[in-house]
Amino acid sequence: MGNICRSPTAEGVLRTHVERAGLADGVEIDSAGTHAYHVGEPPDPRSQKVAASRGYDLSKLRARRVVTADFLRYDFILAMDRSNLAMLREACPGEEQHRLGLLLDYAQDAVEDEVPDPYYGGPEGFERVLDLIEAASAGLIEHLRQTK
């Protein structure tokens, strides 16, 4: 939504996993929100703290809102939940709808299909978000390897 919790966490985790997998030269990663609530702001301090505890640095990221050019630039535009996916579907040109999906579609063993918004909860919510994003990142890396 605002690009300060889930999506920058996913950007940082996926960027790290892509680099470790040796795929960084062929993959561009960015995150954006469906709302402009926090444009220009860094990720939520709680997201940064939990990510840092697992070796991910989110400190240089800044929130931005999805723009029309994103639908042409990126092969995958992955939402954290169905509500944001619906907003992306409304904004995305019809011929580019195939680029849209849910991040957790790539998490092989996840029981959930949406990454819950941790903003109004405690630290355990941010830990859970990171668990889910790490699982989805592993699955997405495997998908990239198979389609390369």
Q: How far apart are CA 2 and CA 101, in angstroms?
A: 18
Q: How far apart are CA 104 and CA 122, in angstroms?
A: 22
**Does any domain span residue 137?**
yes
DSSP E strands, the chain: 77-79, 100-102
**Does any domain span residue 107?**
yes
**Does any domain span residue 72?**
yes
Instruction: Note down the domain range covering 68.
Output: 6-147
**Does any domain span residue 1?**
no
**Does any domain span residue 71?**
yes
Nearest one of 45, 59, 47 to 6, comparing CA atoms: 47
Beta bridge partners of 79: 102
CATH number (domain holding residue 15):
3.40.50.2300
Average pLDDT over residues 119-137: 96
> Considering its fold, how many domains does the chain have in total?
1
Instruction: Tell me the pLDDT band of 121, cut-offs 50, 70 and 90.
Output: very high
Residue 93 pLDDT > 80: yes
**Does any domain span residue 143?**
yes
**Does any domain span residue 16?**
yes
Q: How far apart are CA 81 and CA 105, in angstroms?
A: 11
Query: 51-83 pLDDT, tens per residue?
Result: 999 999 999 999 999 999 999 999 999 999 999
Q: How far apart are CA 121 and CA 54, in angstroms?
A: 20
**Does any domain span residue 20?**
yes
